[in-house]
Structure 1
């Protein structure tokens, strides 16, 4: 039987297309499996409303909750910061929903999903997990995107939150867009088609370049990339969760801003003036005028990751928050 020339071309095109999809999904699965084997959970899995929540607890003293930023997991804190804190606090670090070893909320999974966990929903499930392990009246620290979740935590439980520490935190509405990459990978088509390509083929040099840009103008500490496990973030489900949460954040920041005046607990705000990821002029320097009990520390020449590049500044801010809250 002879096929028309056009028919042969169409047949070959679809055959190649299916083969590429199959190869991409196979390679993505292989990279995910390798990342999960190399970077297993380092804390406990607390089942919370049917969702696994990964929590790492160390040290003794007043409760201190640490909430990581976008594209990360709790290993960002265990690389160095927790070691400066465990002599004085019981340090509780969480993987946020969809990141690390914490699952997504029901209804938010799947390749074609576009629904993301709001800061309020993330705070709520982490609070319920914290309740299960006996956390009481914590200081809550949020870095970057985690700052929005920390603010949502304080707004939801103002009488059971001793203080907030906001490090390079997203807190205020910002102008412009976040760029095409977040828009594309948070969409239904992008989540189903583009994200597997990222998981399968993104080279290590691109990861290194991304980490360097986040730390700029400082350099990442030696060993950071190997410790934090970027392969966990590059898993298809986590890449989708991260993109959808970040791309969908602005409306919730706009609404939360209206309530910042009710946050009467001590709030320590720490921000580098060379931060180009979350600019201090847009966020910290505006937030200090929105909260009634805030203290602002601007760090000259520092970028987005002061808890790594100058950890003593963050440790000092936590200490001030503890003192102002009457915990020490």
Structure 2
């Protein structure tokens, strides 16, 4: 009996790993890198540069949120910016085509890249492509990385879009605690990669955009299977699960920020609520200017991209770049 159970368990593990591998192979085939791979001391960073040539316009670095990749900005927004900026899109560590930092690699390793570690890596990649003091935009989790960038490295201005900036009450829920743990990352995540149905992915996207709807073709453009790769799911879960203490530490340094900061945040955002994050941050930092977007949810850069363009223009003007 025990032998039969062990054989069945081995078969289930093999099936799970095979199905997960098939899904990952499809993602790799269908969503190849769209930019260049920059090597930062052995860590590969995926960078896509659009718009004006170097030196002809201000540099604008754009950092995506959790469960995303740089394609999040190329459905519509980046094209609107190409005439006025040298747009530099980056995949964050472990997501898209940027590798994890070596110290955080491993199926049973529950450590994750901090916002400061991510900012350090991406800043050094930006230097390699000639952007020493860019405007830095961050959406959601990417907003925390943009803040870490401004705290530790040169930046001309910040644009924070539905950004995580302040400590929040309560917990993130059992799913992040489970998948962000060493055991959950090693055991549960392969099951998700292998068997998560597409209808669940579609429902998750709609919940992120609520109360608006996702633009037509968004999921296909983003490449959700890239995020469902085992290494990317581990990276994302661990980064989100461990974020709060880093936000607490960063908040203690916000009084050192004096660069122009533009915030846009939807009043209907239930994922990163404005009253917990943007509104508090704007009161704490004198150089921060907040624009609240009535009845908009967590994805303002996609449901009202022109509002994000306008915020970038204001940041550039305040920094003396326009």
TM exceeds 0.5? Answer: yes
Q: How many residues align?
A: 318
**Unmatched tracts of structure 2, length 5 or more:** none
Give the match for residue 28 of structure 1. Answer: 20
Structure 2 CA distance for aligned equivalents of residues 59 and 309 of structure 1: 22
Please give the residue correspondences for 1:213-292 in structure 2 after superposition, counting only pairs within 5 Å: 213-292=207-286
Instruction: Give 1:268 shift.
Output: 0.2
Structure 2 CA distance for aligned equivalents of residues 123 and 149 of structure 1: 6
RMSD: 0.6
CA deviation string 1:303-328 (max 9, x = no partner): 00010000111100000000000001
Instruction: Give 1:291 shift.
Output: 1.0
TM-score (norm 1): 0.96
1:38 corresponds to which of 16, 30, 39: 30
Structure 1 CA distance for aligned equivalents of residues 284 and 244 of structure 2: 17
Give the match for residue 179 of structure 2. Answer: 185
Give the match for residue 288 of structure 2. Answer: 294
Instruction: Give 1:107 shift.
Output: 1.9
Q: Secondary structure at the match of 2:271?
A: coil
Which structure: larger Rg? 1
Structure 2 CA distance for aligned equivalents of residues 186 and 283 of structure 1: 23
Q: Secondary structure at the match of 1:288?
A: helix
Instruction: Give 1:80 shift.
Output: 1.1
**Unmatched tracts of structure 1, length 5 or more:** 1-8
1:142 corresponds to which of 117, 138, 149: 138
Give the match for residue 209 of structure 1. Answer: 203
Q: Secondary structure at the match of 2:101?
A: coil
Say yes or no: does 1:85 pair with 2:81.
yes
Give the match for residue 112 of structure 1. Answer: 108
1:96 corresponds to which of 92, 113, 117: 92
Instruction: Give 1:49 shift.
Output: 1.1
Structure 1 CA distance for aligned equivalents of residues 133 and 117 of structure 2: 19
Structure 1 CA distance for aligned equivalents of residues 93 and 317 of structure 2: 31
Say yes or no: does 1:51 pair with 2:28.
no
Structure 2 CA distance for aligned equivalents of residues 241 and 271 of structure 1: 26
Say yes or no: does 1:67 pair with 2:67.
no
Give the match for residue 3 of structure 1. Answer: none
Structure 2 CA distance for aligned equivalents of residues 211 and 42 of structure 1: 23
CA deviation string 1:174-205 (max 9, x = no partner): 00000011100011110111000000000000
TM-score (norm 2): 0.98
Structure 2 CA distance for aligned equivalents of residues 166 and 227 of structure 1: 23
Instruction: Give 1:292 shift.
Output: 2.0
Q: Secondary structure at the match of 2:28?
A: helix
Q: Secondary structure at the match of 1:237?
A: helix
Structure 2 CA distance for aligned equivalents of residues 76 and 22 of structure 1: 33
Structure 2 CA distance for aligned equivalents of residues 107 and 259 of structure 1: 26
